[in-house]
């Protein structure tokens, strides 16, 4: 009923989030963030004197995927292109990207920190004469390690 106290714990909604690209310009208004994942490779091993006829599985190297960020295109906003154009041979300015899932007050409830991040791909919008969508650009970011923490 309306007005009754909620005694259950509810999952967090995913539509209120902030992204800081670590460039000192503050939060960037993204429409979508995807690819926040990490996995551990499996090493299969069997000793020569093992009495079982199967391998054991051990944890190996950790690896992370790339994160994809999407946002609307604004007039005179070349932020992604400026960052991407700093790639020179094998050199790039790496930064720490922080993605925060927020509560209704704007406080971080879950934080993903991408360490040593840099842009690997930028994709402009598709153009359609009969479309009525907002122009959206996509930035793909590679990073080395992922830290996840609850709360701000």
Q: What is the mean pLDDT of residues 64-86?
A: 90
CA dihedral 134, 138, 139, 140 (to 10 degrees): 150
pLDDT attached to residue 24: 76
pLDDT, average across residues 63-91: 89
Q: Is the pLDDT of residue 57 over 60?
A: yes
91 or 35: which carries more pLDDT confidence? 35
Task: Over range 98-114, report the average pLDDT.
Answer: 93
Average pLDDT, the chain: 89
Instruction: Compute the average pLDDT of residues 79-84.
Output: 86
pLDDT at 7 over 60: no
Of 35, 38, 34, the residue nearest 145 (C-alpha): 38
What is 17-37+66-150's CATH topology? Pnp Oxidase; Chain A (2.30.110)
The residues, any chain, with a CB within 8 Å of residue 134's CB and separated by 6 or more, are 72, 73
Domain residue ranges of the chain, discontinuous segments joined by +: 17-37+66-150
In tens, the pLDDT along 12-31 reads 888 999 999 988 777 888 99
């Amino acid at each position: 009923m309306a007005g009754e106290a909620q005694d259950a714990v509810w999952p967090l909604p995913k539509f209120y989030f902030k992204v800081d690209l670590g460039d000192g310009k503050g939060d960037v208004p993204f429409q979508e963030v995807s690819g926040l994942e990490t996995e551990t490779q499996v090493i299969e091993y069997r000793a020569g004197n093992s009495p079982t006829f199967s391998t054991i599985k051990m944890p190996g190297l950790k690896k992370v995927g790339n994160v994809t960020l999407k946002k609307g295109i604004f007039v005179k906003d070349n932020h992604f292109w400026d960052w991407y154009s700093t790639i020179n041979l094998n050199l790039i300015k790496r930064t720490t990207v922080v993605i925060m899932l927020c509560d209704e007050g704007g406080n971080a409830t879950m934080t993903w920190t991408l360490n040593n991040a840099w842009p690997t791909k930028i994709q402009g919008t598709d153009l359609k004469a009969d479309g009525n969508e907002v122009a959206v650009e996509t930035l793909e970011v590679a990073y080395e390690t992922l830290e996840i923490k609850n709360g701000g």
